[in-house]
Amino acid sequence: MKQVDVAIKCLHPLAQLPRYMTAQAAGMDVCAALDDVLVLGPGERALVPTGLAISLPEGFEAQIRPRSGWAIRDGVTLVNSPGTIDADYRGEIQIILINHGQQSVAVEPGARIAQMIIAPVLQACWRQVDTLDSTDRDDGGFGHTGHQ
């Protein structure tokens, strides 16, 4: 598996480095750097600090994604998913959690709250044209493949 060197800075004494939980995991678990328990009621959202800042190499991004187990068990997910951390951002990584469940959920200090994936980025170079090439789909929109 390919690797990329990423500089990381701990901003909080409870910050934990993201870690892969299995040998072939694509995403690293990211933990909450909280001083106290945070309770998210049904429908509530909160910006949860990780206590981490990173310096990605040019041409890479960090994608922040929900943890599937937490989503199915308690309905906790991310408001903006996937979130993107650009290569030129140097501030603290914070995760926007939302509780879609019917019960309050406690977010403990050090709890695994999201996954981070480091991915290469391509930037588009737009070439304006008068017409586009034709396809079988053309301008077929939402649900168009369900029609016979």
pLDDT digits (tens, 9 = 90+) for 44-95: 999 999 999 999 999 999 999 999 999 999 999 999 889 999 999 999 999 9
Helical spans, DSSP H, in 67-118: 68-74
| Domain count for the chain | 1
pLDDT digits (tens, 9 = 90+) for 106-130: 999 999 999 999 999 999 999 999 9
pTM comes to: 0.87
CB-CB contact of 56 with 37 (8 Å): no
Question: Whole-angstrom Cα distance, residue 46 to residue 25?
Answer: 27
Measured CA distances, 136 to 19, 139, 144, 148 (Å): 44, 9, 11, 14
Q: What is the CATH number of the domain that holds 76?
A: 2.70.40.10
* Residue 3 maps to a domain: no
* Residue 64 maps to a domain: yes
